[in-house]
Structure formats: structure tokens, C-alpha cells
């Protein structure tokens, strides 16, 4: 998949407040242009899972819609699996899918199994292949007990599992996942994550994923693209992002006895101390040395070294860019 200088402008109608504004806008409409995606370029190799991150309104969904052919770009070029998405060729539609966590394609009053049959017809999936794929997806997602119930009676997580299956029946090799875990409880998020990983491994599918849950990103994506105000801020290895923008780790300690706060400052920057727990920020190159010192000097009952939370790392990446 290759994207070059992709841009999307929306024309939005502006109206002054109040009755005068309403009357005025009847006579003369005034428009403002919003640039949702501003000349972004990137390439994604077959089989890669890439995290597409950014704050609300950054342009992620707009980009996904252009990549899947739902929106016509204002500028730039897109090649997805050898196709130009907005030409909406049948062969292209059979190779991709767009799953939006906030929107459902399942029909509310009938069981998911029946939506599956409709999709079989739409995508012209031969019977044998359809049965095999439904069987595989049913196993991977544990769908058996869900398929015959009307969709409206399913929980959000159960519906999301059916949603994923419905979107993957035609075995697309390029998948756009827009917030697939939104609103799900922690266990169901983990189930969906495991499924995405298994699907990617089994079919070598290329996946572009947006999520506000950093656990999705750290579990699935080696590479991330971060956008803000429609522009790419970072595109590269997740580990590199962390080591560039957070050149430190956080030691989490649990003590078996009270320790003086001043004693903890000696090992790094004390972030938090409330007996029996403390967290201390330590420069990466000092981690092993300071860890052995702490274990030797302090009444440590439990000890872990972690990367800082991804939210913080991304926050630091934004701050660095704005400061530059």
C-alpha cells in the first residue's frame, strides 16, 4: 500500500449566530475549508500491522475512509493492493475491509448468521470457501453460541466479535480497523486483540489499526504512524519512538518496611511514593546499575522495571515537535 501526499479538505458551511445569522446565511452562504488530512505519505508492506495514532480529530478516520474508497481525496495518490480505492472496483472491494468500532454493519433484528449470508451473496463467496471461512472464524472467535441470536440481544463485545467475522468472510488481505476495541471490557479487548494477531498470522493480512487503547498498540504493532492536525508527526518503530522520546524507564517498587522519601531520590527521579509503593524514573543507561543498588540498599518486596505509559510517550513526542 502506498500513499503519496494524500490530502482531504472539507468545505464546511459557516453561519453567524442568531436570527440575523440565519437570515443572512439564507441569502449568502459562506464556507470555510477544513483540512482534515494534509499531504501525508507512507507505505505499508504486505503482512504488516501498523498502529495509526493521534488525538481526536487528527484525521485518522478520514484517512481510513479514503484508503477504503469511501471518500474521494482532495489531492495526492493512493495505491491499495494495486488499486485506486475511490474507483470502487468490485475486485478492490473483495480484497479489503473497513471495520469501524462505532458503526455496525449487522442487521439489528436478525441473527448475525443471516447477515453473513447476505455478505456471502454480496462478495460472491463460493459455498465451500464460505463454509470453511465461517468455520475458521467461529473457532477463532468462539462464535458458536452467538450466531443464531438476534443481534440486538448480544452484548457489545459479542456483537463486535460477529462484526469482525462479518467483515472478514471474504478473506480480505487488507484490513482497516478503526477503534475495534472501543467500549469493550478488558477481557474482551484482549480477545479481539488475540484474534487480530491470529488472523494476521494465518492470512498474512496487512492491517492498519487505530485505537485509543495503548494496550492494543503495544500488543499488535511494531510500527506506528502518529498524526496530528492531519500531518504525520512520527512514522517508525514503536521501540524507537519510546527510546527517543522517553529515554528513561520507571522502576516500580513495593517495600516491606517504611523507607524515607529522601533515600529514594538517590536512585533517580521519585515520581510517586505512598508506602508501601514507589515509582522512580531512571535514565535508560543507568537502569541495571540503579536496580542492583536499590535491591541491595532497600527493603524491597517486589520490583518491576517498565517503559513509561504509551500515552505519556506520545505526549512527549507532541511536545518535542511543538517545541522544535
Ligand X SMILES: Nc1ncnc2c1ncn2[C@@H]1O[C@H](COP(=O)(O)OP(=O)(O)OP(=O)(O)O)[C@@H](O)[C@H]1O
Interacting residues toward ligand X by CB under 6 A: 10, 12, 34, 36, 54, 56-62
DSSP letter assigned to residue 206: E
- Of residues 94 and 231, the one with the C-beta less far from ligand X: 231
Residue partners of 170: CB distance under 8 A and separation at least 6: 94, 97, 119, 123, 125
The residues, any chain, with a CB within 8 Å of residue 261's CB and separated by 6 or more, are: 270, 273
State in angstroms the smallest separation of the CB of 37 from ligand X: 7
For ligand X, give the closer residue by CB, 158 or 163: 163
3-state SS, 112-176, equals HHHHHHHHHHHCCCCHHHHHHHHHHHHHHHCCCCCCCCEHHHCCHHHHHHHHHHHHHCCCCCEEE
Distance separating alpha carbons of residues 227 and 59, to the nearest angstrom: 7
CB of 209 to ligand X, least distance (A): 13
Q: Which C-beta is closer to ligand X: that of 105 or that of 281?
A: 105
Buried b (16+ CB within 10 A) or exposed e, 9-30: eeeeeeeeeeeeeeeeeeeeee
Least distance from C-beta 56 to ligand X, angstroms? 3
Q: Which CB, 141 or 313, lies closer to ligand X?
A: 313
CB count, 10 Å around CB of 235? 16
Q: How far is the CB of 144 from ligand X (least distance, A)?
A: 33
Residue 208: CB minimum distance to ligand X, A:
12
In the complex with ligand X, the residue whose CB is nearer, 56 or 258, is 56
φ, ψ (nearest 5 deg) of residue 106: -75, 145
- CA–CA distance, 139 with 114 (Å, rounded to integer): 18
Nearer to ligand X, 12 or 91 (CB): 12
Q: Reading across the β-sheet that carries 231-237, which strands appear in turn?
A: 96-100, 174-178, 206-210, 49-53, 223-228, 231-237
Cβ 321 to ligand X, closest distance in Å? Answer: 17
Of 10 and 273, which has the nearer Cβ to ligand X? 10
> In angstroms, what is the minimal distance from the CB of 98 to ligand X?
13
Amino acid at each position: 500500500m502506498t500513499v503519496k501526499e494524500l490530502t482531504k479538505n472539507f468545505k464546511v458551511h459557516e453561519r453567524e449566530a442568531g436570527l440575523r445569522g440565519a437570515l443572512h446565511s439564507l441569502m449568502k452562504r459562506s464556507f470555510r475549508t477544513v483540512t482534515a488530512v494534509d499531504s501525508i505519505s507512507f507505505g505499508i508492506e504486505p503482512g504488516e500491522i501498523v498502529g495509526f495514532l493521534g488525538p481526536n480529530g487528527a484525521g485518522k478516520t478520514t484517512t481510513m475512509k479514503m484508503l477504503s474508497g469511501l471518500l474521494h481525496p482532495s489531492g495526492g495518490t493512493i495505491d491499495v493492493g494495486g488499486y485506486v480505492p475511490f474507483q470502487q472496483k468490485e475486485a478492490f472491494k473483495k480484497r479489503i475491509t473497513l471495520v469501524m468500532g462505532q458503526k455496525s454493519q449487522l442487521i439489528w433484528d436478525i441473527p448475525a448468521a443471516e447477515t453473513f449470508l447476505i455478505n456471502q451473496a454480496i462478495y460472491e463467496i463460493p459455498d465451500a470457501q464460505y463454509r470453511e471461512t465461517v468455520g475458521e472464524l467461529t473457532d477463532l472467535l468462539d462464535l458458536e453460541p452467538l450466531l443464531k441470536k438476534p443481534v440486538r440481544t448480544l452484548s457489545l463485545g459479542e456483537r463486535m466479535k460477529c462484526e469482525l467475522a462479518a467483515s472478514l468472510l471474504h478473506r480480505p488481505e487488507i484490513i482497516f480497523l478503526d477503534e475495534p476495541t472501543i467500549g469493550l471490557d478488558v477481557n474482551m479487548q484482549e480477545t479481539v486483540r488475540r484474534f487480530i494477531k491470529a488472523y494476521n498470522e494465518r492470512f498474512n493480512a496487512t492491517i492498519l489499526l487505530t485505537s485509543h487503547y495503548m494496550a492494543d498498540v503495544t500488543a499488535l504493532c511494531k510500527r506506528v504512524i502518529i498524526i496530528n492536525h492531519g500531518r504525520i508527526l512520527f512514522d517508525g518503530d514503536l521501540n524507537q519512538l519510546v527510546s527517543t522520546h522517553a529515554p528513561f524507564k520507571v522502576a516500580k517498587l513495593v517495600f516491606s518496611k517504611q523507607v524515607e522519601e529522601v533515600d529514594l531520590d538517590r536512585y533517580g527521579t521519585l515520581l510517586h511514593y505512598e508506602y508501601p509503593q514507589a515509582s522512580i524514573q531512571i535514565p535508560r543507561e543507568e537502569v541495571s546499575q540503579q536496580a542492583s543498588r536499590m535491591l541491595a540498599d532497600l527493603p524491597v518486596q517486589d520490583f518491576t522495571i517498565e517503559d513509561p505509559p504509551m500515552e505519556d510517550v506520545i505526549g512527549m513526542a507532541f511536545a518535542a515537535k511543538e517545541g522544535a
